[in-house]
Structure formats: structure tokens, C-alpha cells
Amino acid sequence: PITPGELLCLGSSLAFSGLFYYLYRKKARVVARIQEAPKLQVDDDLPALVSAADGRCLPYVALEGIVLPAKAALTSHYHEGLQGVIQKLLLKEHRLIWNSLARSW
């Protein structure tokens, strides 16, 4: 005989397994799209290609080319000779509002 507690545990285990499998498959599809992204060279033809695309946006493309830093290149502390640049830094501050009921920000 199976008790209601065992049925509850079995049902919740199946539900969580289904949820995690769904999330895994969703992320696997995104990774596959990124890995199949076309590789474009950074050259004079790139602005014309972006302008001709739908919505002036190219989803999931890999750009290859030489990038020059604005000030100085970032060097890795862990790998000798590895350098990188930051393309864009976005700082977004969220406004805090005092909640008097919960007594928190």
C-alpha cells in the first residue's frame, strides 16, 4: 500500500524533474543557436549589412576582427599575455522606496 505522503513526494519529484528538464532544453536551444551563429568580419561592409537587416539588428552573430581599446587594454591576472577590452558598461540604479508595512527598503 502507498501512503498519501509517498504519493505527494513522488508527484512533487516528477513535477520538479519535468520543470528542470524543460529549463534544460530551453537553455540547450539557446546554446545551439549561439554556436551556429554566423561569423562576420569587422570591416567596412558591416554597417551596410546591419542596415539591411530586419529591425537594423543582427541576432546571434560572432564578430571577428581587431579591436582597439579606448584607453588601455585589460590584462588577465591569471593568464600571461591575455588581454581584453570592455565594449560597453551600463550602470542601472534602482530607486529604493520605504515599505512601511514590511519595514524595509
Distance CA(83)–CA(74), nearest Å, equals 5
Q: What is the CA radius of gyration of the chain?
A: 24
Q: What does the pLDDT look like over 7-16, one tens digit per residue?
A: 999 999 999 9
Evaluate whether residue 102 is within a structural domain. Answer: no
Evaluate whether residue 93 is within a structural domain. Answer: no
Evaluate whether residue 89 is within a structural domain. Answer: no
Q: Which domain holds residue 15?
A: 2-82
Q: What does the pLDDT look like over 53-97, one tens digit per residue?
A: 888 888 778 888 887 888 888 898 998 888 888 777 666 776 777
Element (H, E) at 83: strand 83-84
Evaluate whether residue 103 is within a structural domain. Answer: no
pLDDT (0 to 100) of residue 91: 67
Evaluate whether residue 91 is within a structural domain. Answer: no
As for how many domains the chain has, the answer is: 1
Place of cell 581599446: 69
- Residue 49 pLDDT more than 70? yes
Distance CA(63)–CA(40), nearest Å, equals 5
Evaluate whether residue 66 is within a structural domain. Answer: yes
Evaluate whether residue 87 is within a structural domain. Answer: no
Evaluate whether residue 13 is within a structural domain. Answer: yes
- Residue 47 pLDDT more than 80? yes
